[in-house]
Amino acid sequence: TVGAVARDRHGNLAAGTSTGGMTGKRWDRIGDAPIIGAGTYADNRACAVSATGTGEYFIRANVASSICNLMRLTGMGPREAADNLMAEVAELGGSGGVIVVSPQGEAAFSFNTSGMYRGRANSEGLNEVAIFAEE
């Protein structure tokens, strides 16, 4: 799965996700990637989220829109909100990660696997890519 989230100069947010799903999938199985609210969500009032991982758990936990709701309704920052939902995914038995950007332009990652191909950049000069959890 690949995904991106962005905040532009006009303050607008956008999120997108694309995937082949899981190896050997049967019965036209669909995971979270194409499901708005589970694998992808964007709301200028709150956040933009893209998720990757064991889709069934991201659907059950309604991860992407829950992160946005946490940020919008509690004022939580993107990393804390994302960590909350990833903890819930883990409790359910799932694994994976999310990328989040806030209306203020904070870009955050949260994942509970040993690695996530990831990167972020902003107008303050941040520009980094990483693979392993410990990076």
Partner 1 sequence: TDWAIALHGGAGTLSREAMTPEREAEYTASLQAALDAGAAILAEGGTAEDAIVAVITILEDDPLFNAGRGAVLTWDGGISHDASIMLGDSRAAGATAGTSTVRHPILLAQEVMRDGRHVFLSGAGAEEFADRTELERMEPEWFITQPRVEALERYRANSTASLADDEHRYG
| DSSP letter, residue 88 | H
Number of residues that bind partner 1 (CB under 8 A): 76
Least CB distance to partner 1 at residue 125 (A): 10
Span 27-46, contacts to partner 1 by CB under 8 A = 28, 30-31, 33-36, 39-45
Interaction between residue 122 and partner 1 (CB under 8 A):
yes
Q: How far apart are alpha carbons 56 and 51 in whole angstroms?
A: 12
* Binds partner 1 (CB under 8 A): choice among 70, 71, 81, 107: 107
Interaction between residue 57 and partner 1 (CB under 8 A):
no
Interaction between residue 92 and partner 1 (CB under 8 A):
no
How many alpha carbons fall within 13 Å on the CB side of residue 94?
25
Angle, vertex CA 49, rays to CA 92 and CA 90, nearest 5: 15
Active-site residue, selected from the candidate residues 1, 40, 52, 54: 1
Least CB distance to partner 1 at residue 57 (A): 12
Beta strands 47-53 and 96-101, pairing class? antiparallel
* Binds partner 1 (CB under 8 A): choice among 18, 91, 92, 93: 18
Q: Is 113 a catalytic residue?
A: no
Q: How far apart are alpha carbons 12 and 8 in whole angstroms?
A: 6
CA nearest neighbour of 42 among 75, 20, 69, 19: 69
For partner 1, the closer CB: 12 or 74: 12
Q: Would you please indicate which residues are annotated as catalytic (active-site) residues?
A: 1
